[in-house]
Amino acid sequence: MRDTIDIHSNDNTLFVTGQCNNRCLMCCQPPTKKDDIDFFYQKNKKIIESAPESLSVIGISGGEPTLLDEKLFMLISLIQKKMPNTYIHILSNGRKFSDCTYTEKFTYLAKEKITLGIPLHSDSALIHDKIAGVKGAYTETMLGLYNLAANEMDIELRIVLNKQNYFRLPQMARFISKNLVFISSVAFMAMEDIGYTIKNRDFIWIEPIEYIDYLQQAVLFLSQFNFDVALFNLPLCLLPNEIKPFARKSISDWKNTFLSQCNNCTLQKDCCGLFSTSQSVYKGLKTIKTI
C-alpha cells in the first residue's frame, strides 16, 4: 500500500487497521494484535486532505475496518466532504453488521456512493467457519448481509477460491440465487500465494486448473439469473472461452506482473496477469496466439 493517492493507479486504498476478528486461512495480510487504529486514522486523515477531488474510487481495507467502530463513520465523512463524487469501496467480513443498531447508523451516515465487499466462503456454515477461523462467523456474516440489504446498501459478494470451498461452487451459486438475491455483484477470486496461504498451504491452496470446471458451472448459473459476475486474479489462458468475458484486470498495479511468455500473447492487454507478490506461479499458463 502507498502513503499517497495516485490518481493514475487502479488501487487507492486506505489501510485502516492491521487488526481483524477473523483468522482466514488464506489471509494475505495476516492480522496484528497491536492497537493501531488511532495511528492509521491520523495517517489516513492526512492522505484524504491531500487527495485529488477528481479521484473516481477510494478503497477502505485492513484488517477489519468495522473494528474502527464509529471512527469508520468519521473517516467516511472526511472522504465525502473532500471528494463528494468519489465512490468508496469498503472491504469487510460483514460480521459487525449483524448488529442492527450499528448497521442503521452506518447506512444513515454512509449510504451514497458506497459499496461493501463482503467475503462469503461457502453456503455451508461449517466450511465458512473453518475457512474464517472463527466459530459463528457464518451466522454473523449472513445476518450482516441481510441487515445491510434491509437498509438498501450496495453489496459485492466475494468468494475466494480455495481447496476447502471449490467443490461446492455450483451449490453455492444456487444458494446465492435463492437466498441472496439482493447482492449487486458476485466476484470469484483466485488466491494470492502469500501470508497465511503459505503457512496453511496443504489445507488451503489449490491450482486454478483444478477448480475451473466447478467455477464455470457457478459463473454460468449466476449469470443466467442476471447477477453481475466477475472473475478476479485469473489469467485468461486458464479460462474456458465461455467464461473469459467475466474476467477483470483486477490485480493492483503495484503488485501486478507478467511472465516473459506473456509478451507474445495476443490476450495480454485484456489479461489480469499475475501477482508479483505470490511465492509461486499458477500451473497451466500458456501463450495464446490468435490471428
Residues that bind ligand SF4 (CB under 6 A): 235-237, 258-259, 261-262, 265, 267-268, 271, 273, 285, 287-288
**CB 140 → ligand SF4: shortest distance, Å?**
37
Q: How far apart are the first and last CA of the chain?
A: 39
Distance between CA atoms of 210 and 214, rounded to whole angstroms?
A: 9
- For ligand SF4, the closer of residues 32 and 257 by Cβ is 257
- For ligand SF4, the closer of residues 26 and 238 by Cβ is 238
- For ligand SF4, the closer of residues 56 and 257 by Cβ is 257
**CB 201 → ligand SF4: shortest distance, Å?**
22
- For ligand SF4, the closer of residues 176 and 251 by Cβ is 251
Quickly list DSSP for 21-43: S---TT-SS----S--HHHHHHH
- Residue 25's nearest CA partner among 124, 111, 130 is 130
Q: Residue 122 in 3-state DSSP?
A: coil
**CB 150 → ligand SF4: shortest distance, Å?**
41
**CB 262 → ligand SF4: shortest distance, Å?**
3
**CB 239 → ligand SF4: shortest distance, Å?**
9
Cβ atoms of residues 237 and 287 within 8 Å: yes
- Peptide bond just before 133 cis, omega within 30 deg: no
Distance between CA atoms of 127 and 169, rounded to whole angstroms?
A: 12
The distance from CA 49 to its chain's CA centroid, rounded to whole angstroms, is 26
- For ligand SF4, the closer of residues 120 and 234 by Cβ is 234
Q: Which amino acid is at 20?
A: C
- For ligand SF4, the closer of residues 19 and 216 by Cβ is 216
- For ligand SF4, the closer of residues 77 and 266 by Cβ is 266
Distance between CA atoms of 86 and 78, rounded to whole angstroms?
A: 12
Half-sphere exposure of 251 (CA within 13 A, CB side): 20
Distance between CA atoms of 67 and 38, rounded to whole angstroms?
A: 12
**CB 166 → ligand SF4: shortest distance, Å?**
20
**CB 248 → ligand SF4: shortest distance, Å?**
13
Cβ atoms of residues 144 and 103 within 8 Å: yes
